[in-house]
Structure 1
Amino acid sequence: MRQWLLLFVDYMANKQIQAGVLNYMTGGSDRLCMLSGDVLDNALATLIARAKQSGEIVLAVEPIDLLCAVAGIASFGADLDGEVSAKRLVDIMIAGLRNGTSTGGRW
């Protein structure tokens, strides 16, 4: 799962660079986001299930929550130096999923 999340950071960085061309080719960002969102949600659901089954993570997480977290991390890494920081944040997030402690939505 970690490798996929790190690749997603790279994907988001490339997507931000190519956003203008992608919007033109697909007829707008709404359609592009809708199509890629479903694919990413399904991929994350599979990755989460496998990671829980293997014991890699113990904390229950919804695919959309993980997707939003990683997209935010990837957006943070839009420039070259930020990409290194974004990849460190992925490791911090994975460590939290392995820990299994949750506030249950309460801080």
Structure 2
Amino acid sequence: MAVEKAEERRLRADAQLNEDRLLEAAARAFADEGADASLKAIAKEAGVGIGTLYRRFPTRERLIEATYRNETARLCAAAPELLATEPPVRALRTWMDLFIDYMATKHGMADALPAILAAEDGLRMRTRDLLTEAGRGLVSAGIEAGEIRPDADPSDVLMALAGITLIAGAPSQRPLAHRLTDLLLAGLRPPRT
């Protein structure tokens, strides 16, 4: 009996590892190729068979939704991790770069996301709230350190970042996105007296 339970736990861990690899591969594929990326290629890149992909994500839409949720969770989790290892402004700047990567993946799924977001009541607003809270922690730490202006609003920062990705969201435009992000960060600094 104990052997069976240990085996089940190991299988669950293997299944979780497979899912993690599938979601990482899907995020890259959707960012590069869009929502119509080959599921077979995603499975291959993840090191699993197509049957494993379909057992976990029976439809393309389920894979896209899971990728969207996973990428959101990863971006939100990065904020406190960055604050634990970097000064506040550097943590915020690194998170901004991660946000641009996140939006590139989201843009790759743009054709399929509206239907998914419409079907999942409140998902769009929950995502925005999660991202705003992650940004709030970074902005607040910068304000507390005196490196970000006290009137900086995390929602405004998020909207400005989203605007940057609309203008320069393609991988080939990454240098422009970095310059615009630097300008945004400069505008968040406290005025010199």
> Which TM-score band applies after superposition, normalised by the shorter structure?
0.7 to 0.9
> Does the aligned pair in 2 maintain the 1:9–1:74 contact within 8 Å?
yes
What's the C-alpha RMSD, in Å, of the aligned pairs? 2.2
Aligned counterparts of 1:26 and 1:68: Cα–Cα separation in 2? 19
When Rg is computed on C-alpha atoms for both structures, the one with the higher figure is 2
> Does the aligned pair in 2 maintain the 1:13–1:75 contact within 8 Å?
no
Residue 89 (str. 1) matches residue 180 (str. 2): yes
After the TM superposition, list the runs of 4 or more consecutive aligned residues in structure 1 that deviate by more than 6 angstroms: none
**Partner residue, 2:12:** none
Residue 47 (str. 1) matches residue 132 (str. 2): no
Aligned counterparts of 1:77 and 1:30: Cα–Cα separation in 2? 30
Q: Shift in Å at residue 30 of structure 1?
A: 7.5
Q: Shift in Å at residue 80 of structure 1?
A: 2.2
**Partner residue, 1:105:** none
Alignment of 1:1-107 (within 5 A): 1-28=92-119, 31-100=122-191
Q: Kindly indicate whether structure 1 or structure 2 has the higher relative contact order, using CA contacts under 8 Å at least 6 residues apart.
A: 1
Identity %: 36
> Does the aligned pair in 1 maintain the 2:147–2:189 contact within 8 Å?
yes
Q: How many residues matched?
A: 101
| Unpaired runs of at least 5, structure 1 | 102-107
| Unpaired runs of at least 5, structure 2 | 1-91
Aligned counterparts of 1:32 and 1:75: Cα–Cα separation in 2? 21
